[in-house]
């Protein structure tokens, strides 16, 4: 039976990418029921790899915790906790720092993106970020990690670090770690630019649907979401696995993104969705996507707001 571990940074603006790519998977795993233990961690030590306002960080830790519970992760049957409250994460990270090779970290694309042009001024913590992830997961000897697609490379590094530790010391101490990256929303893209990942740090609120958005926010954002001048594609856009063909995803990233989000929300295949919308313009799809988002997301946001107000809870 698998031990599950996953983490979410408390950096505010939790959005449907975080929910559909990761948090909802935690709930699916719980409902499937065949796991030994599941740990869901609010990774505040990861958050401080870039500057955080201390007061806001406290608030965001609570908000992230609330998002897990509001989405349906049962705190009685899963371990929900804050990373910095367990010092083992930082301790094991140091040991793994001594295992991991600098060359491996140099290949991490997320560091390059986050550090930007001024790499010299990035924190050492931002550079060593994936080693702390390895420590998170390996502290509990977890084997399965539900995440969005953007964490794939980090999880490959976690495996490399665990293997090298086992090899160097001639032991079989750390287990093999597998990512769980499934569904149509493993990489939800910005509503303004289908080539950019939906992100908590995007300056434009119109780039993402936040979990705390109300009906009107959702309606406005989907109305303004970028599309293209063609009608919705037909079944010829899909490959044998039912995914968008590469050329379609490249030529029509915004259309593919809205359809992916809709499929994941409705738990329907692309084939089922395209059979309904092929040849139509985007307004009908946008209307139904808005309704689906309102049905799925607004209750979670309301529950988050309720919990955050109830400080005793």
Cβ distance 223 to 282 under 8 Å? no
Which residue of 69, 133, 256, 263 would you call a contact of ligand TYM, by CB under 6 A? 133
Give the residue from 275, 252, 273, 277 showing the smallest Cα distance to 264. Answer: 273
* Structure tokens that stand for 203 in this block: 């300056």
Q: How far is the CB of 246 from ligand TYM (least distance, A)?
A: 19
Give the residue from 68, 35, 278, 297 showing the smallest Cα distance to 185. Answer: 297
Give the residue from 226, 222, 209, 223 showing the smallest Cα distance to 298. Answer: 209
Told to check if 265 binds ligand TYM by CB under 6 A, we report no
Nearer to ligand TYM, 38 or 237 (CB): 38
Told to check if 266 binds ligand TYM by CB under 6 A, we report no
In this structure, the number of other CB atoms found within 10 A of the CB of residue 141 comes to: 14
Which residue of 21, 194, 253, 301 would you call a contact of ligand TYM, by CB under 6 A? 21
Told to check if 22 binds ligand TYM by CB under 6 A, we report yes
Told to check if 147 binds ligand TYM by CB under 6 A, we report yes
Nearer to ligand TYM, 4 or 280 (CB): 4
Nearer to ligand TYM, 90 or 235 (CB): 90
What torsion do the CA atoms of 28, 31, 33, 35 make, to the nearest 10 degrees? 30
Cβ distance 26 to 78 under 8 Å? yes
Told to check if 300 binds ligand TYM by CB under 6 A, we report no
Nearer to ligand TYM, 40 or 277 (CB): 40
Told to check if 174 binds ligand TYM by CB under 6 A, we report no
Which residue of 3, 4, 9, 263 would you call a contact of ligand TYM, by CB under 6 A? 9
Give the residue from 119, 155, 121, 114 showing the smallest Cα distance to 138. Answer: 155
Cβ distance 22 to 147 under 8 Å? yes
Q: Which residues are catalytic?
A: 114, 197, 200
Told to check if 5 binds ligand TYM by CB under 6 A, we report yes
**Contact positions toward ligand TYM, by CB under 6 A?**
5-9, 17-18, 21-22, 43, 46, 133, 136-137, 145, 147-148, 150-151, 185-188, 197-198
């Amino acid at each position: 039976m698998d031990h599950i571990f996953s983490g979410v940074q408390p950096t505010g603006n939790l959005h449907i990418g975080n929910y559909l790519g990761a948090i909802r998977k935690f709930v699916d795993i719980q409902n499937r029921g065949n796991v030994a233990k599941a740990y869901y961690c609010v990774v505040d030590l990861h958050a401080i790899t870039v500057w955080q306002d201390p007061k806001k960080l406290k608030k965001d830790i609570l908000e992230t915790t609330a998002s897990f519970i509001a989405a349906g992760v049962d705190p009685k049957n899963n371990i929900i906790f804050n990373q910095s409250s367990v010092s083992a994460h930082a301790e094991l990270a140091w040991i793994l720092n001594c295992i991991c090779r600098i060359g491996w970290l140099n290949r991490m694309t997320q560091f390059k993106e986050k550090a930007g042009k001024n790499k010299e001024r990035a924190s050492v913590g931002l550079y060593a970020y994936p080693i702390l992830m390895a420590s998170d997961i390996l502290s509990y000897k977890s084997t399965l990690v539900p995440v969005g697609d953007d964490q794939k490379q980090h999880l490959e590094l976690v495996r490399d670090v665990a293997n090298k530790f086992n090899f160097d010391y001639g032991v079989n101490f750390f287990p093999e770690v597998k990512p769980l990256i499934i569904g149509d929303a493993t990489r939800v893209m910005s509503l303004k630019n289908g080539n950019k990942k939906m992100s908590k740090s995007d300056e434009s609120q119109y780039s993402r649907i936040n979990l705390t958005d109300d009906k009107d926010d959702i309606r406005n954002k989907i109305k303004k979401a970028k599309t293209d001048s063609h009608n919705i594609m037909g079944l010829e856009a899909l490959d044998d696995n039912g995914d968008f063909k590469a050329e379609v995803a490249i030529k029509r990233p915004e259309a593919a993104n809205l359809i992916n989000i809709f499929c994941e929300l409705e738990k329907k295949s692309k084939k089922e969705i395209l059979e309904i919308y092929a040849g139509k313009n985007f307004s009908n799809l946008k209307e139904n996507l808005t309704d689906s988002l309102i049905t799925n997301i607004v209750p979670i946001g309301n529950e988050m707001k309720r919990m955050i107000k109830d400080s005793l809870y």
